[in-house]
Structure 1
Amino acid sequence: MAQVELRNLVKAYATHQVMHGVSFDVADGEFVALVGPSGCGKSTLLRMIAGLEEVTGGTISIAGRVVNEVEPKERDLAMVFQNYALYPHMTVRENMGFSMRLRKAPKEEITGRVEEAAAIFGLGDYLERMPRQLSGGQRQRVAMGRAIVRRPAVFLFDEPLSNLDAALRVQMRAEIRALHDRLGSTSIFVTHDQVEAMTMADRIVVLRAGRLEQAGAPLDLYDRPGNVFVAGFIGSPAMNLLKGHASDGMIRLGANLSVPAPVNASGEVIWGIRPEHLELAAADTDGAFAMRVTGVESTGHATFILGETDGIPLTALFTDRPKVAKGDVLYLKAHPTRQHLFDAGTGLRIE
């Protein structure tokens, strides 16, 4: 397979710049997810790697070769699109073997690779069907089968699961990760779904407005977000982020709410705590504060408690189904080692 290297990548449309010097590497055999809010540039970045968008500045290297001026078909990669991009007038077999026919590969080789891919994705009984005769999940399998038939050095996935229902997305993300492991491929996966990124990727790259905010292993980003944006973006429900003032080892968050500072700091800060790191406590516990419940949401495996303390909205998450109703008052305490602190001016993490 191959390593992918991006160096100071810039993309502009006329005078409007959308990518601002993005740099990161994808190691040989690594699975990297690109995440970020809509319009952050993740799909544009993927299309630049594929050669479908021209590079304005910087370089893209695949297996040590700069490919800025290399045609897409010569970059030794395959792309799986959100809309499957199957040819409606071709059978499954013809769709899967099309790229090899373009390369004038021997018929026996095409047949062998198509049938091998069909076996991997359970499509053996569907090879003579047309795309319109398939379900969404089957069409996505055909699209992935078409990609692996070529045996490329790099796989690119552009939100391939967004058109599927929730249960099928869970199944397909497991299949994509299993395929990656089986082939030892290098994979770059664009998604807006944090769960997909957290469960599938070896490493996550977080983008915002065409800039790289942070890159790292999923749990590293979850446990130690480098700035306020990543803290609020990674995790569902989102981290509680409260403005405050730090002094004398305490952080004043409201007129009647203060918490011990997790690290030495002074001045204007943003204090963060994830909903699952708020714990029920007795009223007289050191560091406990009262929260009035404004709403309760249950998903079966978890209970989300919405509330406010000193006029500040908070969300807490519990898995033991506490008996709580709207209007109740709870006493909570922040887990002592799971708190986060950020500089209010720069947004950067305070260590």
Structure 2
Amino acid sequence: MAVLAPPVAAIRVAVRRALTDLPGDGPVLVACSGGADSLALAATTAFVAPRLGRRAGLVTVDHGLQAGSAERAAEVAALAGELGMAPVELVRVEVAGRPGGPEAAAREARYEALADAAARRGAVALLTGHTRDDQAETVLLALARGAGPRGLAGMPARRDLAGVPLLRPLLGITREQTRAACAALGLKPWVDPHNSDPAYTRARVRSDVLPALVRALGSAVLDGLARTARLVAEDNAALDEIAAAALATARHPAGGLSVPALTALAPAVRGRVLHAWARELGAPPSALSHRHVAALDALVTAWRGQGPAYLPGGLCVQRRADRLHLAQERA
């Protein structure tokens, strides 16, 4: 009897946990670039899902940013068919002309394509191959940006993407394990040159910063960073619940928010209340930053008769007596 390679077994356990008790009878779709992480996830999901009575499909996105990208995407789609996955989609996206840098633009285009594919196919979940190493990189990047607790929480194991659960089953699995699993399964992953291109911030963290930390502090530093993300995420969830209740009680009868009610809140809770309210007003979440929330907070805690706070989306918030309110859209 063949002995199952430990990395393959570990990934199967992680995927089975993620897929158990999903509602509905639609398929699960794996987002696969052909790299070791997503390839190991795809092959494992193709094995595990049918044993749970679930269909497993795959989506591969061609960003058109590298020579041969179309051929590579076609190869991934063909391999998915060989693994017995269905449905299989190859989606081409346009990255040029989107706001932000190339990494952010490609990510936005990719997630739009994944959400569209999930909607077309009636998927009950989308799976991505982010690993513990990816989580450690995310935490370090957030720390460098001064992103605060939300950034330090890293990537959640589950979040909503246009109404479909986006699952990351491999956040407890290392990149080394996914490579070993591919080798054990006879899969040949694609190595993305962007992952080692110093022009990209995450690539520099991957090639320079994390190895330096491991040399200085030992390999356990990666587990420590990932554990930090999990612990901060738990704290965030608790604070978000408190903030949701505080937002409900801070609403002013005339509309907007009551300044005395906001003043009585702890700073950590008040910041979350103001952040949630700004999103409620229509501020785009991706553009809403700490400085915007700080400007709102100044209307509460450092009121000197100053002018309004401006939020992304052309929104203008003013203080009048004991109330914060949306004044008008900025021209």
**Shorter-chain TM-score range:** 0.3 to 0.5
Higher strand share: 1
Q: TM-score, normalising length from structure 2? A: 0.32
Higher helix share: 2
Q: TM-score, normalising length from structure 1? A: 0.31
